[in-house]
Amino acid sequence: MTLGRPLLLGLAACAAGCQEDQASPPPAADSAPAERRPPAPGPTPAAPAEDTSCARIVTRLRLLAMRELPPILDPGTQRLVNQALTEARLSCDQDGWPDALKRCALTTPDIADALSTCREHIPPALHAKGSARFTKLMSAR
């Protein structure tokens, strides 16, 4: 990984300044005038929210499918996999996948595990919608 020039310069400046700061003990808290005291630390910023977007989920499932399926699929099977992933994206976007299902899909080690382990996070109404989507997809074949 290459660090940018500004970051390297900043690290070099800090290395010189930080060593000087460490050589002398910090002043007592009450010895500095109030206007020169550093501001009290504010609240700790919230951790960034985990990206459980439908786009990220389907990208991950696509990568798993590419890894697990034979490299050379017939065009019909390739088309079916792409259509199934498109339907999964639509379902995620439109049918309201619960967060537990999204997290499961993002952490599953493989497609087979996604189909078995993540099933427990699919509420009955979502299961019915998904079944209808995939039945329609398969009948259009």
Q: For residue range 54-67, what is the model confidence (pLDDT) as tens digits?
A: 999 999 999 998 88
Residue type, 64: L
Nearest to 58 by CA among 87, 80, 89: 89
pTM for this model (two decimals): 0.60
| Calpha distance 113→95 (Å, rounded) | 22
Indicate whether 50 pLDDT > 50.
yes
CB-facing half-sphere around the CA of 9: CA atoms within 13 A:
3
| Calpha distance 62→64 (Å, rounded) | 5
| Calpha distance 86→136 (Å, rounded) | 13
